[in-house]
Amino acid sequence: MTKNMHHRRTKIVATLGPASSSPEMILTLARAGVNVFRLNFSHGSHEEHAARHKAIREAEKVVGHPIAILADLQGPKLRVGVFAAGPIMLKQGQRFRLDLDRTPGDQNRVCLPHPEIIQAVDVDHRLLLDDGKLALKVISKTIDSLETEVLVGGKLSERKGVNVPDVILPIPALTEKDRADFDYALSLGVDLVALSFVQKPEDVKEAQEIAKGRAWIVTKLEKPQAVDALEEIIHHSDALMVARGDLGVELPAEEVPVTQKRAIAEARRQGRPVIVATQMLESMIESPTPTRAEVSDVANAVYDGTDAVMLSAESAAGSYPQEAVEMMVRIVSRVERDPHWRARMDKMRPQTEHTIQGSLAQAAWDVGHSLNAAALAVHSRSGRGVITVARERPHNPVVSLTNETVARRLGLVWGVYPVVINMSDEAMGIEDLDGPTAAIVKDNHMAKEGEHVILLAGLPFGHAGSTNTLRVIKI
């Protein structure tokens, strides 16, 4: 962490793509305020992602503070087949068949090369095509076909996506492509891996078994079935992403903001970082300024206490990636200067965890606020103690003193300013940490002489998950 570390509580995730993959642009975005870079494995080759990964690590050295890298897996993509004579027009009320016949489709039918869908759905279930632009209702089925009625018509082109909101499909969250991408991302050394189209807790457990602690698993909330199992899914995840694009296809539009607020609150209650994503500054793909509605959307997520807000196509493929990041910084920073935002953070504090770490986090909030401390400095080998403190949304910046791996992951967490230190076991008592901690906080421009810093650490020092001591030191 250096002078130019952005003293925002809410973090910014930016997706890399054709508009932002040069080393120069990656450095520009890092300097502008990006805390987490997203590599979208739905697009690009392994070699392209490796080059981006390398450029991020080089930028990290220049800006002087840890940057997290998120690998976002594509997940299962369900699509219709091809048409013999190009796109067709479906009219409301007409019959249309989906079947396993690979023959190119026409006005009356098309191949649906996913027998698992045909097996799983039943009469009256809906199928949504092309990101929900078209809707069909199943009126009858055979072993290899679905006869449907068009509820919402329109143009249907070949290989458009299919969403099935009414049933859990017997398909894994990880395809063969995802498994290969997962292994490759871990070999690069990414910090976070996002899991797409999760339907049930078992999907997350499987990813955790693959990761084996080498990266945090970020579960993307995109399916109604995942919303139904939200608490358990969050419990098994390291972090959550409210991916409103696909979520908005399968849920009624009016349900999305309600679900977003519920997800943020539940993730915070369980002490899991949460990202709000998709279409946050969508108009900035083509315009240097956002709409007022988009600005309000970002601000509302910050008022709700999200850990991070994310840019997708705005930074990956848009004409104004730098401006989009700078706008996000401006919106977040302005909200966080609002006394009403601070009051909301205090009012929405979740019930204290009934653990030593939870009780200490509450005490740190109280003491830090009472003394108007310059910072809360948390020594943590695993990062868990830091997240528990951040869960309280304290008034004071949270300086995390930890190893490089954990410091990068904590770049996603609300209010945390990660600093890499040598996590040796040489300190015999917490008093041995006073001087080094004071020096680090002062050198990183988080405190001045005469100010107080709240120090949290575990005894015996250096053991993961042992945060059990609070100490007030004066710079």
Catalytic residue IDs: 38, 79, 220, 278
> Quick check: 373 and 454 in contact, CB under 8 A?
yes
Written as one letter, the residue type at 309 is V
The C-alpha angle 46, 51, 54, rounded to 5 degrees, equals 125
Q: Please, which residues bridge with residue 363 across strands? A: none
Sign of the alpha-carbon dihedral angle for 367, 369, 373, 377: positive
Indicate the pairing of strand 239-243 with strand 68-72: unpaired
Per-residue buried b or exposed e for 53-65, using 16+ beta carbons within 10 Å of the residue's own CB: bebbeebbeebeb
Concatenated DSSP letters of 187-223: HHT-SEEEE-S--SHHHHHHHHHHHTTSSEEEEEE-S
How far from 142 is each of 99, 101, 111, 294, 377, CA to CA, in Å? 9, 13, 14, 45, 63
Smallest CA-to-CA distance from 217 within 227, 229, 202 is with: 202
Per-residue buried b or exposed e for 156-189, using 16+ beta carbons within 10 Å of the residue's own CB: bebebebbbbbeebebbbbbeebeebbeebbebe
Q: Taking the CB of residue 18, how many other CB atoms lie within 10 A of it?
A: 12
* Cβ neighbours for 252, distance < 8 A, ≥ 6 positions apart: none
Q: Within a 13 Å sphere around the CA of 289, how many CA atoms are in the beta-carbon half?
A: 2
Indicate the pairing of strand 375-379 with strand 134-142: unpaired
- How far apart, in whole angstroms, are the C-alpha atoms of residue 238 and residue 220? 11
- How far apart, in whole angstroms, are the C-alpha atoms of residue 470 and residue 456? 5
* Cβ neighbours for 373, distance < 8 A, ≥ 6 positions apart: 367, 396, 451, 452, 453, 454, 472
- How far apart, in whole angstroms, are the C-alpha atoms of residue 474 and residue 261? 39
- How far apart, in whole angstroms, are the C-alpha atoms of residue 191 and residue 31? 20
> Quick check: 29 and 321 in contact, CB under 8 A?
yes
